[in-house]
Structure 1
Amino acid sequence: MKKNKSKSLNQQLKQAAMQAKGSGTTEHARKLHVKRFSSYLKANNIQIRDISQIKTKYIQGYITQRLEQGVKKRTLKNEMSAIRKVLRMENRSKLANSPLISNEALGLTGDSRKGTKVAITDIQYQEIYQKAFQKSPALAATIEIARVLGLRGEEAVQSCQSLKTWQTALTNGASRLKVIFGTKGGRPRETTILDRTRVINAINNAVAIAEKQNGKLINKATLKQAMTYWRNHCSAIGLTGKLAPHSLRYAFAQDLMRYYKAQGHSEKEVMAMVSMDLGHGDGRGRYIKLVYGNTGVEQ
């Protein structure tokens, strides 16, 4: 990437974060991570003006401070992933790949993702749904779509673009629906219809709402504004912490596990199929079992 010497370091980092590939949600997180790193440099009077001047010791100091602040290792792994991505975008691959700033060297190994989120229970979901409906029927409809199809937040917000296609597919007897918009890395996938009646009702309701809102579920001018609304209002009704919006996806994943298991599939097959439904590919069964299958809810 060509450098712009008139830009501040923070602006350079932000630009590189925006230009790296990934979904809108990934880009949003990456920008926050590099902004935090830039703020650390400024707060510690590290006077550099260009990404080419970033040194190993600056990254080491940043992670050390974050660990001392009690930030979870998993979070710091994500931050380092963002920093490495930006460094590679700026032809700093040698630094990005340096063993001196590997997760092991930075003391970020030994953590586990097990239990970082939980699957929302049916009772919890009904409470959340009612709060959402009182605030906005459109928000409630988006939450229901996310729950019945196992969608990520951005997928749910952008699902308005697929609602009528899904309606037609359901009318034609489809057992799976294609998720195209808002997917991680822009990779389309298919998700299994578990409760057909509930899915039909959710989609029909969402279509009716979107038709009154310029074809949108979250009626904002831009995707960025829609995602900000989604995150803020989900948090306001209680979808936060371990019950973040992703808990809807965890619950769907566990429904899938029970469904495939009831069909007589082996555990390995179950995890592989769930992984594909969630958009992780068939080779991440162990990851699925650890992250989605052990969330404190009886299987």
Structure 2
Amino acid sequence: MDILALFQALADESRLRICRLLTEMELTVGEIAQALGQSQPRVSRHLRILDEAGIVARRKEGAWTFVTLRLEEGSPVRQLLDAADGDIARAIAADAKRLEAIRIERAETASRWFNARAEQWGLLSKLHAPEEKIEAAMVKALKGRPLGRLVDVGTGTGRMLELFSPGAAEAIGIDRSPDMLRIARVRLEAAGDDVQASLRQGDMFALPLSDGAADTVILHQVLHFAHQPRAAIDEAARVLGPGGRLVLVDFEAHGREELRRDHGHQRLGFSDEGIEQMLSFAGLAPRAPVKVEGGELTVTIWTADRPAKKRRAA
């Protein structure tokens, strides 16, 4: 990082306050403007300067732009932000109060969205084993190996990140729905410091990750929404590095046509043979599936490994 550009970028009270806000949480441009009590165009100009200096990163998510602080925790600049006093400290304290209002607003928005769909989800959950039983089986399936860089495809409410990110070196949740990402942000923030994960908008057929970038990939109750399940598995396999593991959790093949009609399911479950064939075509080595019974629908956990690269003899 150019030290001169760094100090020039931070030589403004508003930009210092923006950086201090971002030490608390990732924020949209609109939320930063709300916390500072400034106009959005003015905040955007400040963010452009901070971005060019490499202090923040901006990321588009639908119509919104999210901003993240790039300064590592414990860095000298972050320590200076925490030690601010005088007029700047009073301004930061006022920003913190407005930030708390933003947290509450996020939670209320997420709650309204979830409550509007709770009845529909509740009816579906009665058709299969309790989530606690399914999650326990998933934990067992992943036990005994490091999670490394974990990617949760179709993260939804962020539950998989909440469950597995404490044991991962890094955790990333990807979902195409901005509404679901808002739900996940609220959930992960409420989970506390033990749960550290980033969220990105993206499609299961075109993940915003490079080849071999992940050590563990999870598709939890996602595949039945895919028009082309094999394409989704191929894309998950693409981002899986050598020695990595793919975990698919979905329904065993069934005949509940109302799930297609009322819940948007594109596939009425999957057979073991069908999944294992798709995994093999993707270059993965399937393991024995695990059945979680309870209710009218059986949930299956399919796992598969990306073979490690063979070492060449000297």
The higher relative CO (CA closer than 8 Å, separation ≥ 6) is in: 1
- Assess same fold via TM > 0.5: no
User: Larger strand proportion, structure 1 or 2?
Assistant: 2
- TM range, smaller chain: under 0.3
TM-score (norm 2): 0.23
Considering only CA atoms, is the larger Rg found in Structure 1 or Structure 2? 2
User: Larger helix proportion, structure 1 or 2?
Assistant: 1
TM-score (norm 1): 0.23
